Amino acid sequence: MSDRDQILAALRQQLRTVEHPSAWQSRRQFDDLAERFCTALTAAHGEVHRAGTLDAALATLGAVLAGLAVRQAALNAEPPLADVDLAGRWPEIQWRVAGEDDEDLRAFCAAADAGITGVDALLAETGTIVVSSGPGNSRLTPLLPPVHIALAPASRLTTDLFTWTAGRRGDLPANVTLISGPSKTADIEQTMAIGVHGPKRLIVILYDD
């Protein structure tokens, strides 16, 4: 028996059944998750628009796109965006949908005026949005363009990261990005700079679903 086999055999003898701890329960409580999320995200230099319905959220999106004079936009094909014909609504904008045509997607996102995504979760405690990668969901979309716009249903609101992690089902995707406002960095003198390593603006359109 080789040294490796001896070590593995010794480890197998130490195997035992253990009881996993129960899911972590948050001690944080907020009377209004949406209000807390908006307050926290605004404090982190993010921007929030409230809308009563998805149609109202799309109208707000149109106003935001017009205000930014967007001519090129990258889009993740995820709910609710996958079910909306944005190119039909705003044909003057050149769209690139992740997953449908990934050729030169990096170059397109780097030149785009905005990247538009959905969200996996909204963390009220810190004003954080959770965005994951996967088929039709490129991590380039929220990270490369100078403006990231997220359409976020209120049903995705939860208290904090631990509560979301404990409550989710299935395997984690290859990449999960936690975004709390626009990109920020500081030098040794603690001078804050925004937009150096990512989007200069984060705009969340929070709608009731």
- CATH number where 65 lies: 3.40.50.10420
Residue 140 is inside which H or E element, if any?
helix 140-143
Count the neighbouring beta carbons within 10 Å of the beta carbon of residue 11. Answer: 9
- According to the model, what pLDDT value does residue 189 have? 75
The number of domains in the chain is 1
Instruction: Report the predicted TM-score, pTM, of the whole model to 2 decimal places.
Output: 0.85
- According to the model, what pLDDT value does residue 23 have? 67
Range of the domain at 145: 33-207
Residue 204 β-bridge partners: 48, 150
**Rounded to an integer, what distance in angstroms lies between the CA atom of residue 181 and that of residue 26?**
23
**Rounded to an integer, what distance in angstroms lies between the CA atom of residue 93 and that of residue 73?**
7
30, with CB counted inside 10 A (0-12, 13-18, 19+), is: middle
Per-residue pLDDT of the chain (209 residues; tens, 9 = 90+): 789 999 999 998 888 888 877 766 777 789 999 999 999 999 999 999 999 999 999 999 999 999 999 999 999 988 888 889 999 999 999 999 998 766 788 999 999 999 999 999 999 999 999 999 988 899 999 999 999 999 999 999 999 998 998 888 888 888 999 999 998 887 777 787 877 788 999 999 999 98
Q: Is residue 18 part of a domain?
A: no
Q: Is residue 11 part of a domain?
A: no
Q: Is residue 26 part of a domain?
A: no
- According to the model, what pLDDT value does residue 193 have? 81
- According to the model, what pLDDT value does residue 191 have? 82
- According to the model, what pLDDT value does residue 180 have? 94
Print burial letters for 93-121: b (CB count within 10 Å at least 16), e (below 16).
bebbbbbeeeeebeebbeebbbbbbbbbb
Q: Is residue 74 part of a domain?
A: yes
Q: Is residue 91 part of a domain?
A: yes
**Rounded to an integer, what distance in angstroms lies between the CA atom of residue 85 and that of residue 141?**
18
Q: Is residue 126 part of a domain?
A: yes
